[in-house]
Structure 1
């Protein structure tokens, strides 16, 4: 530090010491403060004097603010900013700080600390950031009065920071200090404190972390941690989120010592997940609330199976139905029952639909318009209360006691009368296939399919698919990548599909030429993998099925595959079809949407025009929306598509599609007005179609969710069309090639028999036939034939 800088800082701090506490600065002192401020600003950027200069600046601006009768807001802001520079720096050792400034200073520091601590979920914080968080939290706690509300707020933050650092460094001292500060927060906190749930959960987390660390665990830490979690459940007016957090954490902590208690706690947590998806929140907010508990339902099912064995298969299945697809599950249940309600109580049905429509159409007001935002929130709250009252009134009527509620196990089992349902689930504890058939529920453990390995392979599969699109076809790299895909599909057969398909329920029926029809419900990382394409396709292992040498070591030669978000979704589709009067094929209405032009920089789709022309000739009652030579009312805009969808039995889209991994509800189809008014998943989910039979989404990624925190929610275009009213949907798991897509479309409709009087219930078999026709010609290229899947009944 230079002599001049040292002198200026010393002079500033000496002045502070002389006049500190005075609210009346005379003119001379005011002028001296102004001169010193100018001098300090000239040296504050000097790295050797920055900390002490910032400290002096903070005090001088504080004096100016105090002398103004605390009306000089710019001086307060500059004082806070200057002290914050010191406070954030690990080398700052000065204790001098205006007591009244602490609240403002903490407000400035808090977002910085929370940003570091929030990386507990992502693991991306570096050691230096965590060290700074420990220092900052420690300084704030040290400066806070122990009887003030801020003290009990910052003690858990300090505990979190210390736990984070201990996890990175293995420091036992940090671990012990984390426990000490967390316990101190519990000691000084009050059950009437709005933050008490967070305080108790952090105390439980600190005890749990110390219990799980290396060495001999202390059962006292485990028991004390569980006691903290259970204390949360005793708090009054506790939000569902806090109850779920406490029960889930307690279940994890006692999983080894008390597996049945752990299963009970986790099951109770799952039971409250639907409360996070109420219509108080829009779809994106609901996704965020559910995403916080990613994997909880699968973990609860695994705990149940570990505690009670395979006989708990039905109970585990019921949990998976309750705690997965939470956003869509309630909608499927309500919409399935609406037909009955409309016939029996049309007035109630009308009130219910009006309220649901109002809540779905509510617009989010920008945060800057606080008055409008508050008004909108009040209106939404009134509508939600009215919706709850209508639902209660409906459930008070005979035969409607379970309206909109999750189905019973008996109702779920009834779905298996139409073919076996296989639920694939994985967690850190175990992986299993739960097979629901008309006669029984069978649990098939998958010991060679560990969660970490499964997730790594799913990521490798997606990486290979993206890479294949960028390399020259038939190049050595292209062939290598194809080999990786085939190896992954072989592993998927050996470790997942083969153990399941060995069950007697999957034996071919001798009375029909068709293989059994299985519905796959893929949970967790399974949802990123093409189960229907699992098998060995390497040279010498795969033989064309027409030859006698076929080994049938693949799924497609054993069964016809469909997918479903949940069993509830299957019931919804079947209920829709069952509630309608039969309509002759030629009396149906079809919608064909064709967008062959490049849009927003996307490549053109030259096959789309020919594909659409053929469909116009084949399908009944066609309305064609296209960008080629069409009048305004027949252009493929969002408004036109949504209007025509409502009266269509068949909807076929030939265009670009995309999956938004950051917010799956914003995934969409690329129409003509995509840049100004995109057609998204949430748009499709918000409509109800009474006439839907089949939707074919010939576009990329229409059945894919790229968000791992929402992998159990099945939020993608295909499920949205299913919810909207199409019980059968054809979608894609990844990017498709224009020429291949057109070939599959042609084969699909031919196999469906559209030239005669087709049976739309055979759509899964039609797609199976169409895909096999390409697979049998190119078994070595799963990237071109495996993305096409059937969803629904």
Structure 2
């Protein structure tokens, strides 16, 4: 009886006898409270069930003796709630945890939700019930409670790190259920702040580092951002360094490092990562007793890593080790809640060996394991999508072996189920939907399901490249399934659905370009209905535009506080995106605004076509090539099959041009060319044209092939080839909207330029390009409702830029145009060289409707917003131009620089060039170049272009020009140059690069 705790418990039993009327009630209640705490504490150590039962009895009696309003009542309620929670953890009786939550709720209500420890206790109970029932409401409420506890806890309070770490765990639990990336971002932020407030020598620090590292790994698995993987590995390794030998948590931390390394290998394929992963998993397993509950999970991780390495090395020992580890994990865990995952991993390993050896027994065992996994996995589990994919892959392998259509049908059914899973990474769903669509197309080419599958795939494209990410990240993700929109359009054309093909292309191409345009859409109609809503949408859109282009990237030298700030900035970005989406839903609930800022359906595009000519989309895919023409007066898109053209031809033409241009066998404005058709080329000195070379017909061959197989069939169908206009002004217009590899080919110059029967597109129509159909139809709508604004021309020549060769011809070019402007009484400003800073250039662009830039330009394929114009005193990048307030005044941009409409091969359908960027910035029309241009031709084209503008179009009292005739002006100027030259290859290379974009 010498133990004070024992004496207190025994005295508690004495107090439970009938009370003496003279005994002080509060003293008894206090005594019972202390007894209850001691009994619970003893239960925590001994697990003697009678202790927790007696603790609950004492605490309930103490509450009976505590009057309502007593200042100790909330604490005693919380004590009872904690004991009920403890008993629930032993028995799993839902009544206990439900009573615990109700008791904790009473306690926090009595403190008016102002007591952090009580709120924390309530959150623990809610989280435990969620883990037992899976009811999302419980974990959501736990998060609300913990956020409240965090908000009322002052900075510097010792409980704040604990509250933040609990909040991080709650967010992680919620994420495991929902796979919601915004929740995972909050999880990371909470753990980061908990670590920042925790002393480095605190015993809990390694555990926090592990949990934060795991959260970063999860995000890396979801988004593939290497900086997240770097963070995960760095944090897990640091936790390992802080863990002494013999520590109980050392095996789990070794296992966590191994998992982080394996995840990195699965994306990058770097051998070093998987070797180190296996080494860490093995060490973890060696330190884990075989009867430890974690032993089977660590076996599972080792097996997965062996399988990953086998996929790289094809070493039989690796796959045998993987299967052995998985089989042992299954055998050791007959009742493990993650048994479905173990069966699934075992099946994956068996399938791997089957594909390598062809063993029928492996295939049969794999299918049996998949079936066990499917039987055991809870509905709605986040691994359900991966399991459906794995079963689909196995079924298709069996189909290829057996030819049994039932195997194929099962495969397709499993892919469909995977795509329709409630939870799963949008990236994985995109890849799955693409597989589903392709299988249907291959085996059931007439199935209407094909269009549904592609519809879903393109919806996931929009999700993985959403407004919550930076523009750079969006472009990175769009390389995951390149060409999916063209593939979908080709399938639609095969099914005689050109309307659907058009919608696919509008939805899945130029996504980032369309987002920028969408963010800048005038809200005049909505403003007339709800000005407040329109203002909020416009304000958030502007903030999103800025955040998408301005966020600082992660780098290894960042301090921890800088990393927290970066994560906070990312969260702010996500919140803005979510808020904008909610506002758009509000707007779409207004009658007449149901499709507000949604991709335009085919029928809507057809209502707003230009009167002066058709828009022609040219789609090229491995399976077929088609044109889709949109003409005023037609209710449906006009489908024009192009059976003689192929994707291989398009690629060959591009490769031929690329090789020719890289050879430097033409006179360029710059003495060196560094970027040609979207690929970095070594700088080469210009050499004279060698007319004797066998490839001297490259350009002629490309233009002739485009004419015979693409352009002439289109003109014939449109009856354009029967028209021979007498002057440029009488020509009809054609807006070309090429896709994929076609985006790099000079469709506007297609023709036969040698022989007795020369013929070309230039003889029938004036060509312009557009990134999307909507880019033109939107301009048509605006042109019909607003007046043109003419406020003059701003010009600059920049013959010198740091690190670049001099281009003195730009000075004469601008002087010639300036003289023309003065002659016509135009408002014009000319600034050159050191007289113009990038900041001043932007101000003049805001003040003048038209700009002529004669300078060097640089295209950044990795981050298109970093593409820039190089001035003598600095550079003006596209991101800065996009953030400026060019407004409705921006009309015409003439980019007299090399390769301003070149594009990037990996992002062929994202219009990642300066010309498209200037359109996105607000300019209605842009003159640009596809490759390097010469000084003398540049001067001739520019002066002839402006002479035409000032002598045609609507009269302007202030000497301005009508930008709507700019396409005709460029056509006229190029024709003037063309007719002055011969039809040699070097002559074609001189005038062909000039292109017109926009309305």
Q: Determine if the TM-score, normalized by the shorter chain, exceeds 0.5.
A: yes
Distance between the aligned counterparts of 1:682 and 1:444, measured in 2? 41
Q: 1:178 to 1:338 in 2, by over 3 A?
A: farther
Compared CA separation, residues 284 and 151, structure 1 to 2 (3 A):
farther
TM-score (norm 2): 0.61
Query: For residues 526-545 of structure 1, what are the structure 2 equivalents within 5 Å?
Result: 526-538=742-754, 540-541=755-756
Judged with a 3 Å threshold, the aligned counterparts in structure 2 of structure 1 residues 235 and 503 are, in CA distance, closer, same or farther, namely closer
State whether structure 2 residue 818 is matched by structure 1 residue 616: yes
**Which has the larger share of helix?**
2
Structure 2 partner of 1:744: 941
Give 1:717's match in structure 2, choosing from 914, 918, 930. 914
What is the distance in 2 between the residues matched to 1:446 and 1:232?
A: 36
1:144 Cα deviation from its structure 2 partner: 4.9
Equivalent position to 1:568, from 774, 781, 806: 774
Partner of 1:468: 664
User: What is the rounded CA distance, in whole Å, between the counterparts of 1:80 and 1:349 in structure 2?
Assistant: 47
Compute the TM-score of the two structures, normalised by the length of structure 1.
Answer: 0.76
Aligned to 1:387, which of 566, 574, 580? 580
Change (3 A) 1:159 1:535: farther
Change (3 A) 1:624 1:463: same
Corresponding residue for 2:482?
294
Deviations 1:153-210 (A, max 9, x none): 798789889989999x896779949965766765654444323323322432343455
8 Å CA contact 1:163–1:174 kept in 2: the answer is no
Identify if the C-alpha distance between structure 1 residues 609 and 754 changes in structure 2 by more than 3 Å, giving closer, same or farther.
farther
Q: Structure 1 residues 512-521 or 181-190, which shifts more?
A: 181-190
The partner residue of 1:667 within 867, 870, 880 is 867
Aligned length: 693
Distance 1:754 1:235, change over 3 A: same
Distance 2:787 2:260 in 1: 71
Q: 1-side partners of 2:891 and 2:371: how far apart?
A: 59
- 2:806 maps to 604
Matching of residues 368-383 of structure 1 within 5 Å: 368=558, 369-383=562-576
Give 1:280-679 correspondences, 5 Å limit. Answer: 280-307=468-495, 309=496, 312-333=497-518, 335-342=520-527, 345-362=530-547, 363-367=550-554, 368=558, 369-397=562-590, 399-413=592-606, 414-440=608-634, 441-469=637-665, 470=684, 473-476=687-690, 479-507=693-721, 513=727, 514-538=730-754, 540-541=755-756, 551-583=757-789, 588-599=791-802, 601-619=803-821, 620-628=826-834, 630=835, 635-637=836-838, 639-672=839-872, 674=874, 679=877
Closer, same or farther: CA 81–106 of 1 in aligned 2, 3 Å: farther
Cα deviation digits, residues 765-789 of structure 1 (max 9, x gap): 1111112222331422332211110
Question: How far is the alpha carbon of 1:280 from its aligned partner?
Answer: 1.2
* Residues 1:731 and 1:74: Cα distance change in structure 2 (over 3 Å): same
CA contact (8 A) 2:299 2:326 kept: no
Indicate how the Cα distance of structure 1 residues 129 and 791 shifts in structure 2: closer, same or farther if over 3 A, else same.
farther
Q: Distance in 1 between matches of 2:412 and 2:943?
A: 60
Q: Distance in 1 between matches of 2:278 and 2:426?
A: 42
Structure with more contact order per residue of length (Cα contacts < 8 Å, sep ≥ 6): 1
In 2, the alpha carbon distance for the partners of 1:618 and 1:159 equals 76
Distance 1:86 1:567 in 2: 46
Determine if the alignment matches structure 1 residue 279 to structure 2 residue 467: yes
CA distance in 2, matches of 1:527, 1:693: 24
**8 Å CA contact retained: 2:897, 2:929:** yes
When the two chains are superposed, the root-mean-square deviation of aligned CA atoms in Å is 4.3
Quote how far apart the aligned CAs of 1:647 are.
2.9
- Secondary structure of the residue aligned to 2:707 is helix
Question: Contact conserved, 1:260 with 1:304, CA < 8 A, in 2?
Answer: no
Map of 1:728 onto structure 2: 925
**Contact persistence 1:175–1:210 (CA under 8 A):** no
| Greater shift in the superposed pair: 388-397 or 431-440 | 388-397
Per-residue CA deviation, residues 499-539 of structure 1 (Å, 9 max, x unaligned), is 1111244246578633221110001111111111122234x
Residues 77 and 317 (structure 1 numbering): CA distance in 2 closer, same or farther, change over 3 Å? closer
Query: How far did residue 424 of structure 1 move?
Result: 0.5
Q: 1:249 aligns with which of 424, 435, 450?
A: 435
Q: Please, which moves more after superposition, 715-724 or 506-515?
A: 506-515
How far off its partner does 1:242 sit? Answer: 4.4
Q: 1:533 to 1:509 in 2, by over 3 A?
A: closer
CA shift, 1:567, in A, is 1.2
CA-to-partner distance for each residue in 1:229-279, whole Å, 9 max, x for gaps?
122244224554444433322121122325322233223433454334432
Alpha-carbon distance in structure 2 between the residues aligned to 1:87 and 1:357: 44
2:208 equivalent in structure 1: none
Q: Is the 8 A contact 1:749 1:766 kept in 2?
A: yes
Q: Residues of 1 paired with 2:386 and 2:873: CA distance? A: 46
Shift in CA distance, 186/507, structure 1 to aligned 2, threshold 3 Å: same
Check the 8 A contact 1:88/1:132 in 2, yes or no.
Answer: no
Structure 2 Cα separation of the partners of residues 340 and 244 of structure 1: 35
Shift, 1:95, TM fit: 8.9
Deviations 1:474-513 (A, max 9, x none): 4547844442222122112121112111124424657863
SS at match of 1:316: helix
Moved more, 265-274 or 433-442: 265-274
Q: CA deviation at 1:466?
A: 1.6
Where in structure 1 are there 5+ consecutive unaligned residues?
1-60, 118-126, 542-550
